[in-house]
A and B are shown apart, each in its own frame.
Chain A
Amino acid sequence: MTSSSPTVNRYDAIVIGGGHNGLTAATLLAQSGRQVIVLEAADSLGGALRGHAFHPGFRAPGLVHILNRLDPEVIRLLKLDTTALSGHPAPTVALSELGNPAILRGAYGETLDGVSAQEAVAFAEMRRKLVFQAGILRRFLRRRPPEIGRITLNDMTSFAGAGLSLLRKGREEGRDFLRMLLMNVADVADEYLDDDRLKGLLAFDATLGIHLGPRSPTSLLGLYYRLTGEINGAIGNQIVARGGLAQAFERAARAAGVTIRTGAAVARIIADRGTASGVVLETGETLSAPVIVSAIHPQATFLKLTDTAELGTGFVRAIGNIRSRGNVAKLDLALDRLPDFTGVSRADLSGRLVLARSIDHVETAFNPAKYGAFSCDPVMEITLPSLSDPSLAPPGAATLSALVQFAPYALKTGWDSGRAEFLAIILEKLEHYAPGLGNSVVAASLMTPVDIEARYHMPGGHWHHGELQADQLLVNRPVNQAAGYATPLKGLYLASAGAHPGGGISGLPGLLAARHILSGEKP
């Protein structure tokens, strides 16, 4: 060993995983003057934002096709180039079998088209209520979760703030908040609405990416989570993702002086007597740093990269018990022309189309997932990404992207045979809402949770890096002993969607993890 070599690979912080959370954490740490390196196993950065060509001339935008929660503070602190976020708010089109969709305009249906005046009033009342309640929860999503047994003054302030904002609206609102918090979305929708298209949409939005049906207890939390997000200054807003956001995160990181290495898969985290001090790459190369930030799935972090001899039995047990089996398949279609969805105007095709006819439709689509089978009448969310980003398809052609559920990770019959069968079912359903679409398909790519796991290194193919349910939130995300970004392995921090507050393109896990590390608080 030469005398200079030990210092070559020495950094102040190593970030494992070049997804948007890893890049957010890395950028913020580098801005503080630290020498930071990001190690990404894939050949390009961006994680779930990472697109890929799935047919000559056609590109998929990535696992993400809707942006609805990129945190404004992340944008501000990273000085993120927001070109990729420009564009009009995308409407949500709740498709109908009869060809008369209900359309939500503005931020999550500030106005509605295609519903009765009475229903529009009821929806507005419900929307006001849910956005208000989500606002209470939002306070807790944008800060480190409180540590049970070590409640700080800041925590108390935050609790008091939440309490006050409840009380300001009167006792009735406070009572309703506590009443509704753990309800299921179906009961709430039934309380306010009559229109099956709207109720189906709410049921779908509350359960997308979560192993719950709309009638499962606590399923309203998924909808709250969506309504804690904002984009371009409006809560509940959404835009159809276009390319460029991953590159914007990368540019921000580079501008802050972050060293970036792609194709650099980490083989293991070096640790001794419960303290992490570096990583070994699959090539055998060693990098050392007093701070290791893992912006990949917590189970991959602890069960694949860490020697369990460096972790407590109880902790390993808890990590192993994280529920992280995805239920969503990602469909990308190459089409030789723009499809026509019955009753949907050309302009609204650039929005988000949701195929969920009713609460029952979503519930019955969920049922087989409990028993390891996919739905034969799935529900889905559809976008046409090439409308927002023409570079994704050749001139005149189009791409269609859909998140389809329920498609359980552990399919009993196996996805090798199930994939083609499920694809045929999806195409048949699409044909019903967009007659002629089948004939325009040039190529189809269906990623099941198993494929998502392989391509995006997400155990279980779960984009939240673990179920976003009451037992895996806040002080229990991903598990209680590692809920505050620091972990029982000293020097190792978590910063992925598996950490608080959870998944989606928000940057918050990365931001809050970096903030905790910078605060210098002992783990």
Chain B
Amino acid sequence: MTLVPEAYVVPLTLFSPLVFGVLAWLFDRDWVRETLGVIGAAVPLTVLSLAYEKASSGTISYTIDTGVFKLHFVLNSLSWYFAFIGALVGIAMAFGLSSTSRRGYDWLFSLMSFTGVMGVFLARDFVSLFLFWELMTFGSFMMVLRRNRHESLKYFVLSVIGAYSMLLAIGMVYAKTGTLDYAMASQTLLLLTKMGGVSKAYVDTIFALFLLAFGVKAGVVPLHVWAPGAYGENDQSYTSFFSGVLSKAGVYGFIITLFVMPSLYGIYFAMGTFHGHLTGTYLIAWAGAVTVVVASFLAVLQEDIRKLLAYSSVGQVGYIILALGVFNGVAVGGAMFHVLSHAMFKGLFWLISAALILRTGKTRFEDFGGLAEKMPVTFAMALIAVLSLAGIPPMAGFASKWLIYEGAIQAHMPLVAGTIFLGSALAFAYVVRFLYAVWFGQRPSDLDDVREAPLPLLVGMTVLAIPNIVFGIAPGLAVRLINRFFNTNITVNSYYSISTPTGTYNALSVTLVLIVGLAIAGLVYIYGANARKIKVTNTYQSGNPVTEEYNLVIRRNFYRPLAEALDFWLKYSWDRFYERLANLSEDFADWLREGFYNGNVQSYSWYLAIILLILAIWGVL
């Protein structure tokens, strides 16, 4: 703490990315730009690490007085947890960008969104939240705008709808309570609901508007349509941050509505119950569950590596939303844990896809193959990411998913728990494809001179790979952090072992068993098995004749039978629905303009007459 005085902790965390981003944009030279950018991303991480003691035992507040509003920021154990995850992915992104981007523009806007996210995590009042929320959206939007106008507009329109819902909700809160501070507003609101000062519908509207606002950013189905385009049509290094952290800002918003404003808690009770579950949160749980299922199915069917990862990201954030909606200690603890693990493994995934695109220039599975030999380190990283995402111990992804599952079972939500299971199976299906199609099998001849990913990218990947393993083997570390700000009901027996009321997970013993098992299998493979070496081209079809039209290889149309089975459902697409809606409103705009501003002065005079008539009628009555 002595290194960074307390008063500087929050401003340094908030503003150093933005300031260095602007500097990187101004001094747009090789090396200078990259150095500045990496420093800008490193400062928050350093400052937050140094402030750990203070933030976990107390709070660090910081206020900016703009005169119009007071902006209030607090670093406590909750905001530290989120901010630290953000900063960790942020530094990895900065290393990635050093390799993949040669533009000051990218640095400026990616670091701008970095500042935005930090502000969202640290804000303690609605105006700061909204301000930084918009900053974050704007930065990320500009990253997409440069690359694809259509996708960026889709992203922006949905984000703006979200932002304005939030603004409306904030206005509604302020109008009744006269304060913008989370805690004060929520207390006053609770008091007012009890005294009957605000109607139930009013509170429900606030609730719904907040959920809409945060749901867009978190990518909850059906508000997810921006995600595949915006994540895909972007610098992939930036996407690691975009998908890893910005989506968590949406999750954080859910946490604010559910827990930081505890009075809404009382409001959920006011909303009543449904089959023994609180209606408000039960809805959230199902929104998450639908997201998991829909996004995972869509991820399985993708032929483009970026689209696959994007849908998978939507699905994984769905788990977090689902867990928050389950609304008991274990599940929420799992959700918080999954925030960490998803940021780590999905950040890692995107950096890997950045490396692949940088080195090969290809994005579709059919163009890849056999890269494990060419990019061994990246392959090792990919293996970690895949294991973590698929929820295989001893990776972080397993521990968090296990907690969510336990939570859902405890809350007596078997159907919801079922969707977790289904989602896991689907996740396994798509990562297997990623693993096999990209890294194994036949290598297309044009990939023969592919080199290993550049050093900065590898550094970035390592930064994200280590937590995947560390928190996987020692889930107690993460749970201990989470227990500081939320009573999760999960006991930490040791670093390696955690217990919920219904079960215990000892990561170390699982790891040991796994290692022993692998060793035995390896020995059997080397000495005992009747193995023969065959060429990769020597495939077999289980008696099925292969035709060109129906040629399913892992690199192309592998899950086509699934697509055919889902034919009925795939006819309905949210993307098309939104496109149609957009077209409709454009047509409406034309109709309105041509109808109203029709250029005919006579009809204009009629408008005057109508208003006069309204006034006259009122005058008479």
A binds B: no
Give A residues with C-beta under 8 Å from B.
none
Give B residues with C-beta under 8 Å from A.
none
